[in-house]
Amino acid sequence: MSKKLLSRRQVLAGAAVASAALSLPRSSEAAQKAKQAEPSPPASTATKPAGPVTLPPLPYAKDALAPAISANTLSFHYGKHHQAYVDKTRELVAGTDLATKPLEDIVRAAATDPARVTLFNNAAQAWNHGFYWKSLAPSGGGAPTGALLDKVKRDFGSVDDLKKQLVEAAVSQFGSGWAWLVLDADKLKVIKTANAETPLVKSLKPLLTVDVWEHAYYLDYQNRRKDHVQAVVDKLLHWGFAATNLA
């Protein structure tokens, strides 16, 4: 780390402590909060390159989605499959103009380059999986609220109708792929994509996704894809994440 960056970090940490001291009682709790407010060095450095692509942290424990998705499935899915897509992407962009680009840029660049099909497949899968983990939550399911709920009622009739369309899209995707809730201009739609195909490179805004590659469910459900998808839709979908993407 350069002296310049260290200095900036120290200034920020000092400011956080000073701010906490003004607004909080002098206690170990205040000291703890001030410590938590200190920015982590990599995130606070504007000069750090965006790449290379890394495996994003799983937003919950590996057993947090059970029983709908077991810890065993999550361990392989995240630790092996997602990791492999990230590793392959890094390997393929190493030494190229995309080496330090954000994952989204790599996916978009590869999508329009016939010579980079393998890179697209791996980078898009890396991105889709990062989006998928955030589409699920340990206490998910239920129904959207607020502006998202209004749009769901307008475009699908009801939350149940939307859920039925999502399950139908996921179950009817022939072979590997994904089911998505997307925003198309101002209209909500359910779509399905094959293999690594992703709405990220279309003029669609992804809000939620469900992975229907066999590796997403085979350890827990074998061939019963519909049982898996129904459990995901009923117990795990993170409507708050979808609402954030809508905003």
**Which two structure tokens, joined as six digits, stand for 37?**
């407010």
Residue 91 CB, nearest approach to Mn ion (Å):
19
Question: Quick one: which of 130, 154, 144 has its CA closest to 209?
Answer: 130
Q: Which helix (H) or strand (E) holds 190?
A: strand 187-194
Cα-based distances in Å from 247 to 25, 115, 146, 240: 36, 35, 11, 11
Burial class from Cβ neighbours inside 10 Å (0-12, 13-18, 19+) for residue 201 reads middle
Report phi then psi at 228, rounded to 5. Answer: -65, -50
Among 211, 233, 236, 241, interactor with Mn ion by CB under 5 A: 211
The nearer residue to Mn ion, 210 or 216, going by C-beta atoms, is: 216
Q: Which stretch binds Mn ion (CB under 5 A): 135-143, 172-180, 209-217, 235-243?
A: 209-217
Longest dimension (CA), the chain: 61
Long-range (24+ apart) CB contacts under 8 A made by 102-105 are 102/50, 102/51, 103/53, 103/127, 103/130, 104/200, 105/50
| 213 contributes a contact to Mn ion by CB under 5 A | yes
Residue 126 CB, nearest approach to Mn ion (Å):
10
Q: Which stretch binds Mn ion (CB under 5 A): 45-53, 66-74, 93-101, 214-222?
A: 214-222
Residue 120 CB, nearest approach to Mn ion (Å):
16
Residue 60 CB, nearest approach to Mn ion (Å):
16
The nearer residue to Mn ion, 213 or 239, going by C-beta atoms, is: 213
Residue 218 CB, nearest approach to Mn ion (Å):
11
The nearer residue to Mn ion, 213 or 241, going by C-beta atoms, is: 213
Q: Are 74 and 65 in contact (CB under 8 A)?
A: yes
| Residues 6+ positions from 168 with CB-CB distance below 8 Å | 190
- Say how many residues touch Mn ion, by CB under 5 A: 3
Q: Are 124 and 111 in contact (CB under 8 A)?
A: yes
Residue 244 CB, nearest approach to Mn ion (Å):
22
Q: Which stretch binds Mn ion (CB under 5 A): 54-62, 116-124, 175-183, 205-213?
A: 205-213
Q: Which stretch binds Mn ion (CB under 5 A): 135-143, 167-175, 195-203, 213-221?
A: 213-221
Question: Quick one: which of 245, 166, 243 has its CA closest to 212?
Answer: 166
The nearer residue to Mn ion, 37 or 218, going by C-beta atoms, is: 218
Q: Which stretch binds Mn ion (CB under 5 A): 44-52, 64-72, 143-151, 215-223?
A: 215-223
Residue 166 CB, nearest approach to Mn ion (Å):
17
- Residues lying near Mn ion in the complex (CB under 5 A) are found at 211, 213, 216
